[in-house]
Amino acid sequence: MALYERKDFSHLLGTPGFSDPLLHAHFDLYAGHLNSVNELSDELASSPVNGTPASEWSELKRRFAWEWNGMRLHELYFENLTKTPLQPEKSSPLATRLATEFGSFASWMKNFRVTGLIRGVGWAALVWDATADRFHNVWIDENDGGHLAGCPVILLLDAFEHAYVTEYGAKRGRYVDACLAAIDWSVAESRFSAAAATVLVSAGS
């Protein structure tokens, strides 16, 4: 039995700005990460470190982390998209906090959009630092570089070329705008609420 099961994101088909062929190809790429995670999990389980050359075992470990991040980041990305988007409530906890920290909600959006345009391949992520009680827009290089330890992802944008090049060519900005127009703010709000609740429980224990 596979350790991780593929999640179904077919409800996103028909999302404005994302053709169905593009989404199907993207779903398949996500499945590739997931399959690699399951295969590597089996290899690591059957290859104890004391029975495998150190170089081979360490490479399995490195590949597992990269593929696992690729799997999980794609799941977070697809989960925060919707083909029936609504503007976030200006009085919601997330929108209010973003407006306060960045000067306005529009200023946060501009900052996040520019983060998504950083040269290279990776991810633009809105993360929350519970320790300092503040947000950061960060760039995750590839799948593994740039994660802020202990900071849950609230919102995520895939900036790898596979996410847009067949649809938009080199015009990544148009793709980023399509993503921002398709954000499921209820998911982002739920992630923030869940993260904040965890901190409150920890503080009260």
Query: Where in the chain are the domains?
Result: 19-79, 93-204
Give the whole-number percent of the chain exceeding pLDDT 90.
81
* Angstrom distance (rounded) from CA 138 to CA 185: 19
- Whether the model clears a pTM of 0.85, i.e. scores above it, the answer is yes
If one compares 198 and 9, the residue with the highest pLDDT of the two is 9
* Angstrom distance (rounded) from CA 84 to CA 191: 19
Tokens 């960060």 sit on residue: 138
Cβ atoms 116, 157 nearer than 8 A: yes
Q: Where is average pLDDT lowest: 60-64, 112-116, 156-160, 198-202?
A: 198-202
Cβ atoms 21, 166 nearer than 8 A: yes
Tell me which CATH code domain 93-204 carries: 3.55.40.20
Interior/surface letters 184-201, b for 16+ CB within 10 angstroms, e for the rest: bbebbbebbeebbeeeee
| C-beta neighbour count of 51 within 10 angstroms | 8
Tokens of 184: 């499921």
pLDDT digit string, tens, across residues 115-173: 999 999 999 999 999 999 999 999 999 999 999 999 999 999 999 999 999 999 999 99
Cβ atoms 118, 124 nearer than 8 A: yes
pLDDT digit string, tens, across residues 182-191: 999 999 999 9
